[in-house]
A and B are shown apart, each in its own frame.
Chain A
Amino acid sequence: AQKVTQAQTEISVVEKEDVTLDCVYETRDTTYYLFWYKQPPSGELVFLIRRNSFDEQNEISGRYSWNFQKSTSSFNFTITASQVVDSAVYFCALSEEQGWDTDKLIFGTGTRLQVFP
């Protein structure tokens, strides 16, 4: 069965610190997609990244970077030089490519990140 585990419930850092949010997934499928979303206090989830199972290259976007390792079934998210505006709940999610339901996402329980000035 599909499952996404975000073991870190809450993380607190001081501004300018680097922080890594962990995501471990379970799936029996060989083709799947992984996502990260950010939920600021306003409530809506904001899409950050999508990665398919055949692309293990790490991705960097400004202060954000993602480390995908199939060997450990992990898709970790690092924020470099954190800022107060990074304070939010971050969700990791998984979808499998199988027929009609390929847009169904399985979400982790989220990690609340608090960045203090």
Chain B
Amino acid sequence: DGGITQSPKYLFRKEGQNVTLSCEQNLNHDAMYWYRQDPGQGLRLIYYSQIVNDFQKGDIAEGYSVSREKKESFPLTVTSAQKNPTAFYLCASSSGTHNSPLHFGNGTRLTVT
């Protein structure tokens, strides 16, 4: 079945450590996205990529980094520079056609203590 896989579902880290969240899709989609969800704040865009080897900052990119070496994969690294990293992270993809619907993964809940 085609879809988006995020792993792990739950992740715990100590403050000051970098951590990488995995996102893989087998939908053959060109565009991929990372969103952060906090209670009462909806979803905010961190980074997005429209094609391989290219990506752009979203609205809250500070303290995060991404790579897009393969069409299927768009990992997100939460660096120690991110001041408040505890959140629910959602990866999404779309065909890249203008305004096509996003397909989401099940998310990774990151807790940093």
Contacts and interface: CB of A to CB of B under 8 A. Distances in A.
B48 interface: yes
Contacts of B98: 97, 102-103
Interface in B1-60: 4, 31, 33, 35, 40-45, 48, 50, 56, 58
Contacts of B104: 37, 44-46
Identify the 8 closest CB pairs spanning chains A and B, nearest first. Answer: A43-B107, A47-B101, A45-B104, A109-B42, A107-B42, A107-B43, A102-B98, A33-B99
A109 B96 CA distance: 25
Interface range for B: 20 to 34
A104 B105 contact: no
A47 B102 contact: yes
A103 B31 contact: yes
B67 interface: no
A110 B42 contact: yes
Contacts of A47: 101-103
Interface string B76-113: 00000000000010101010101111111111000000
Nearest to B40: A109
A64 interface: no
Nearest to A96: B99
A16 interface: no
A105 B94 CA distance: 12
A91 interface: yes
Given A43-B106, A43-B107, A45-B104, A103 B43 contact: no
A12 interface: no
Contacts of A52: 99
